[in-house]
Amino acid sequence: MSAENEIVPPPGAAHRFAVVGMGATGVGVFVALVRSLVAGGRAAGAEVHIFETKERLGAGVAYSTPHDCHLLNMRASTMSVHPDDPDHFVRWLSAHPGAGPAVESEYVPRRLFAEYLQEFFEEALVEARQCGIKVRTHKSVVSDCREDARGVHLIAGLDHFVFGRVFLCLGDLPSTAYLEFTKLPTYVHSMWQGAGLETIAPDATVGILGTSLTAVDALLQLRGAGHRGAITCFSRRRALPKVQGPSVRYTLRHVTEENLGRLTDGFTRQLEFAEVAELFRRELEDGLGLAIDWKRVLARPAETFTHTLARDVERAERGQTLWYSILDATSEIVPLVWRTMSAGARASFMTEHLSIWSMFRHCMPLDNARRLLGMATDGAFTVASELSAVSYDEEDAVFQVSAGGTTHRVRWLVNATGTGFALDCSDSSLIQNMLMRGDITPHPLGGIDVDFDSLRVLRRDGSHSARAHYIGPLTRGVHFYTNSFETNLANAHSAVAAALN
Ligand SMILES: Cc1cc2nc3c(=O)[nH]c(=O)nc-3n(C[C@H](O)[C@H](O)[C@H](O)COP(=O)(O)OP(=O)(O)OC[C@H]3O[C@@H](n4cnc5c(N)ncnc54)[C@H](O)[C@@H]3O)c2cc1C
């Protein structure tokens, strides 16, 4: 065993655990921890401390939205809190009196998932207490986390705690694009924090930066609120996400662990981008039973966005979306694929191909796509691509957005470009303090660098922390598919297993 793995149990702290952040990932960690302590006969006398700033435990950022138009972008069958019981959430929905007609749909409002998570969390809380685990909840911000021979020290408000293990589940960082506008009253930096879209006057012109799922959420929320002013979505490269049709069970033939092992000579060498692309090409062409015209798929469509959307909706209605089921089937293997890729291959994917991957992989549920098509045909919004510059005209109090050679002037601007990954831009003092001391290291592709299996954080000196784990969207550079609950839940289980071994 290497020196970095040698854990000297700190007196009194070895049986004390902390979970910082109680969004979906924090719930996954907490439940895995309670179950593992109970199963391992280590429950009696153990302590679990939960730190969360929000009143509501278990909802986090993504699922706190009260709006029914904000749907889960994953089928209910992929959102189970029990990795070995995929129908658990679907059964919960059927038995849940508040779910209403949502149970009929595979894509339910995100607020229902928050209720489900909370119930699951509360069940685990009861089980913990019955089995002798002391659980304490602190409604406070953790501002520092430092490790020494005594354990991991957390500072929360004026309190100082020492733990044997700490699981940091801090969630996404807000976008780091367009920070220069954050002081302007007609700019919405994040839809999920503060007043969001609620203060936008119904007749105001609105510009939405981005065309991904967050932009779709913004459009549908504005429509639901009776917005009448013109709305324009601006994109740099890609148009709206594709549309998901009915789910088909698909078994992978090419993107398999066996093939990855063979190509990498038993995982002893790393793959270049072209080798991985070839595996996916074969999977898709073989699965669909046709040769794909990749030039056409990857090219910017010549037709209008409404035309493309109408065609995508029609294909989804006819069930001609097997390509999505094939991509969906890669969820579990994708972190391993990512792990086998060379640093250059990953970087090239992030800069050159992420936007097209996201357009197909993170696509719209059909219900929302139909609503959006209704809005587009009514002329309620339009899409402008080749976004090149955004500025603010103080005299007229309007934003000027240059896209495709035209300058658009809009009263309100909404940032829907997604979440940020630049740690140095984060306003979290916890992240800043750990970063400054070198207790965490930025991953070259953004976010936090961790050990793939145990999720122990990587220090600046190249060693992994013995007792601090980071789980959640910020480990994207290591695990890639961390913007899904499925991956974060799997990682929560891996981190707990590593901690209790
Ligand atoms: C709008 C949106 C929609 C999404 N939809 C889906 C979907 O449909 N399906 C899917 O699989 N994935 C979806 N995702 C991805 C989603 O991010 C993950 O699935 C998962 O929910 C992330 O949860 P989390 O707990 O890691 O982060 P969060 O939900 O962000 O929770 C982190 C928590 O940590 C707390 N916290 C942070 N810092 C501190 C601190 N210093 N001290 C104390 N507490 C702190 C925060 O208050 C917060 O509650 C979506 C993401 C977004 C942004």
Sheet order of strands, 387-393 included:
387-393, 398-403, 406-410
Whether the pLDDT of residue 407 is over 70: the answer is: yes
> How many angstroms is it from 337 CA to the middle of ligand 1?
24
Say how far apart CA 450 and CA 458 lie, in whole Å: 5
271-283 pLDDT tens trace: 999 999 999 999 9
Which tokens in the block code for residue 146?
């430092």
Would you list the DSSP string of 473-489? GGGHHHHS-TTSHHHHH
The pTM of the full predicted model, rounded to 2 decimals, is: 0.92
Supply the pLDDT for residue 366.
92
Q: Looking at 67-81, 333-347, 432-446, which range is the least confident one?
A: 67-81
Whether the pLDDT of residue 7 is over 50: the answer is: no
Whether the pLDDT of residue 104 is over 80: the answer is: no
User: pLDDT category, 4, cuts 50, 70, 90?
Assistant: very low
| Residue whose C-alpha is closest to residue 487's, from 444, 441, 452 | 452
> How many angstroms is it from 26 CA to the middle of ligand 1?
9
Whether the pLDDT of residue 232 is over 50: the answer is: yes
What residues are in contact with ligand 1 under a 6 Å CB criterion?
20-26, 51-54, 60-62, 72-74, 110, 141-142, 169-172, 192, 214, 428, 430, 472-473, 483-485, 488
What mean pLDDT, rounded, does the chain reach? Answer: 92
> How many angstroms is it from 172 CA to the middle of ligand 1?
6
Q: Taking each helix axis from N to C terminus, what angle separates 24-39 and 110-130, rounded to the nearest 10 degrees?
A: 30
Atom nearest to 169 CA in ligand 1: 26
Q: Tell me the domains of the chain and their CATH numbers.
A: 179-241+366-415 (3.50.50.60), 243-362 (no CATH)
> How many angstroms is it from 53 CA to the middle of ligand 1?
13
Q: Looking at 103-117, 217-231, 284-298, which range is the least confident one?
A: 103-117
Question: What is the chain's length?
Answer: 501
13-37 pLDDT tens trace: 679 999 999 999 999 999 999 999 9
Would you list the DSSP string of 255-304? SSHHHHHHHTTTTTSPBPHHHHHHHHHHHHHHHHTS---HHHHHSPPSS-
Contact call for residues 26 and 142 (beta carbons, < 8 A): no
Provide the 3-class DSSP secondary structure of residue 15: coil
